[in-house]
Copies of this chain bind each other. A is one copy, B any other.
Amino acid sequence: MRVLTVGAGAVGGFYSAKLAQGGARVSTVHRSDFQEVVRAGIRVESIHGDFHFTPHRVWEQVADATERADYILVATKVLPLIDTAAVIAPAVGPGTVIVMLQNGIEIEGPVARAFPDNEIVSGLAFVCLSRLAPGRIAHLCHGRVVLGRYPSGLSPAAERLAACFRKAGIPCVVTDDIALERWRKLVWNAAFNPISVLSGGMTTTAIMADREIRQLVEAVMAEVVDVAASAGHRLPEGVIAKNLEDTMRMQPYRTSMLLDWENGRSLEVEAILGNLVSAARRLGVATPRCETLYALLTSLTTARPDAARGV
């Protein structure tokens, strides 16, 4: 199984290493970390023990990759400035499976339309990772992956990839309704990520301890559940309570969006809130709180010039 990972930051680097442990031949494309990874590979400092990964080949851009891959693993951020279809196009051949291991909802459309004859496997990673330096990744907790054919249905290609992940110790399930899973993950992301930034840098624990802010979290989650239901994705009763209980059990946690903000990187505002608000408007569902967060966060990130550039 030949894999080419595009966007080999923390998520791409970590799961590339895991797929290699599972037996895949994994090459990677690095924009900023190219030289360091060529020199020293990728080092993962994991709670389960540190390990090292040397990609089969390392490329600076997708067009350089001479070897055809069975899977392209897309692990870039979902940002308006990144035209994912154009980025991966040079490596997409007949039969290449495109795996989109990214955040947000309704993010697959442009890639699916650009490659109508290729299978798209959509995926979610439940993991805490942090990029320590070029080629150095900290793995802090979790690691589970959920995969599924886009827009829905069975996928032998996803099953093969899942088997490879599992062989490397990564819990991985394949679902026939990946969109539902994206909405499920969005319940947490749409609330905690924007609020952690707009509140001036609150941890999950601080958010849960503040009555007004926790009420806001719950109300935002309820809006997401409403939109999901109108979009045909009925989340289980009690999904909000479960999210809050799980968060209460977490260590104080700075969301990925907050870390991006504090480090001057771009935020996935569109993937997490913009697409949600668009869906709500399309479906005629009122989401006053999500709209408020979206408008404020868009302005906040636009106001900071460095955030518009970085990735």
A contact residues vs B (CB 8 Å cutoff): 195, 198-202, 210, 212-213, 215-216, 219, 288-289, 291-296, 298-304
CB proximity of A272 to chain B, nearest CB, Å: 15
Sample 7 A-B pairs with CB under 8 A, ordered by A number. Answer: A199-B300, A200-B300, A210-B299, A212-B299, A215-B295, A219-B288, A219-B291
Complex CA gap A201/B300 in Å reads: 8
Q: Which residues of B contact A210 (CB under 8 A)?
A: 295, 299
Complex CA gap A212/B269 in Å reads: 14
Query: With contacts A288-B289, A289-B288, A292-B293 known, is A303 near B212, CB below 8 A?
Result: no
Does the CB pair B300–A198 fall under 8 Å?
yes
CB proximity of A191 to chain B, nearest CB, Å: 11
> What residue in chain B is nearest A293 (Cβ atoms)?
B292
CB proximity of A289 to chain B, nearest CB, Å: 5
Does the CB pair A296–B219 fall under 8 Å?
no
Complex CA gap A201/B216 in Å reads: 23
**Across the A-B interface, the 5 shortest Cβ-Cβ residue pairs:** A200-B303, A199-B299, A288-B288, A212-B295, A200-B300
Q: In the complex this chain forms, how many copies of it are found?
A: 2
CB proximity of A255 to chain B, nearest CB, Å: 14
> What residue in chain B is nearest A194 (Cβ atoms)?
B296
Does the CB pair A216–B303 fall under 8 Å?
no
Complex CA gap A216/B297 in Å reads: 12
Complex CA gap A304/B195 in Å reads: 16
| Residue in B288, B289, B304 whose beta carbon sits within 8 Å of that of A200 in the complex | B304
Does the CB pair B303–A199 fall under 8 Å?
yes
CB proximity of A41 to chain B, nearest CB, Å: 39
Q: Which residues of B contact A302 (CB under 8 A)?
A: 200
Does the CB pair A295–B200 fall under 8 Å?
no
Complex CA gap A219/B219 in Å reads: 18
User: Chain B CB within 10 Å — which of A198, A202, A212, A299 has the most?
Assistant: A299
Query: With contacts A200-B300, A202-B303, A300-B200 known, is A212 near B288, CB below 8 A?
Result: no
Q: Which residues of B contact A299 (CB under 8 A)?
A: 199-200, 202, 210, 212-213
Q: Which residues of B contact A291 (CB under 8 A)?
A: 212, 215-216, 219, 289
CB proximity of A218 to chain B, nearest CB, Å: 11
> What residue in chain B is nearest A274 (Cβ atoms)?
B212
Q: Which residues of B contact A199 (CB under 8 A)?
A: 295-296, 299-300, 303
Does the CB pair B200–A292 fall under 8 Å?
no
Q: Which residues of B contact A200 (CB under 8 A)?
A: 299-304
Complex CA gap A130/B216 in Å reads: 35
Q: Which residues of B contact A295 (CB under 8 A)?
A: 199, 210, 212-213, 215-216
